[in-house]
Amino acid sequence: MEESITTLIKKIDLICNKKHLLSTNNAGLLFENLLGIKSNDLSVPDIDGIELKVSNKNKNYPIALFSCIFDGKDFFETKRFIEKFGARNRDYPSQKIMYMDINAKSFSFWGNFIKFKLIVDYKKEKIYVLVVHANGKIIEKRSFWDFNTLNCILNRKLSYLCLVDYSFYYSKKNCFCIYDNYTILKYTGFYNFLRLIENGDIFVNVNCGVCRSGKNIGKSCFHGLTFKIKKTVLLELFEVKKNSTYKST
């Protein structure tokens, strides 16, 4: 791993503290292109056992850790969940949509009558989604992730994380991106992950919409159930292995 980290740092050194023309509004995709790697939504690291994330240094947007569909109760549990609780799309009524964050600290309302909350069940070793009516009546608690599933993904995909900060620079109506800091982080363990879930610092983002263009127009566009962490508590899940700050030019 030390060799992989050293190799990655050498590549980052060639990219950082230089102005790169941003042709799209995706600094992460640009950085992957500069590194010569393909975008990866799988449960494996981006490059040589190291997961890569980029973050706007001037914003505290949450950082996506990984995506994972429900383990159960049914085989197609995620599809069932969206079909049951999603809202019908106005333009394509046959499709259900759902955009929301679910955490374990407080209920998140979806519409006027339904609210959701994560429940960490240490006895059953599962994280459930509790669905409750606005009047307090429990609708269901059946969709879940197994501890083992989540722990395996974390160890496989996020044992090492490289976080790169970026900022924007504008010149003559062109937008440039400057990558000016990196931090190599090491995952500290599943107990910390569960603790941050319970504190509401790690939450699940549900993102299911409808394709608006292209060959799949009018079809479901599911971007997954994504576990995200607040940027301010990143060092409660990871420890710093190496970092470097470049002098701005």
How do residues 207-241 score in pLDDT, each as one tens digit? 998 888 888 888 888 888 999 999 999 999 999 99
Tokens of 81: 């969940």
What is the residue type of 212?
R
- The answer to whether the pTM exceeds 0.95 is no
User: Which among 227, 177, 242 is positioned nearest to 33, based on CA atoms?
Assistant: 177
> Would you say 196 and 105 are in contact if contact means Cβ atoms under 8 Å apart?
no
| pLDDT value of residue 115 | 97
pLDDT at 68 over 50: yes
Contact status, residue 70 vs residue 77, Cβ threshold 8 Å: yes
Strand partners of residue 88: 96
Tokens of 212: 């608006």
Of 53, 83, 87, 82, the residue nearest 225 (C-alpha): 82
In three state form, how does the secondary structure of 71-110 look? CECCCCHHHHHHHHHCEECCCCCCCEEEEEEECCCCCEEE
**pLDDT attached to residue 40:** 57
Q: Return d(Cα 28, Cα 186) in angstroms, integer.
A: 20
- The band of 170, judged by pLDDT with boundaries at 50, 70 and 90, is confident
Beta bridge partners of 182: 164, 244
Dump pLDDT digits (tens) for 44-60. Answer: 777 888 999 999 998 99
Residue 229 pairs in a beta bridge with 63, 202
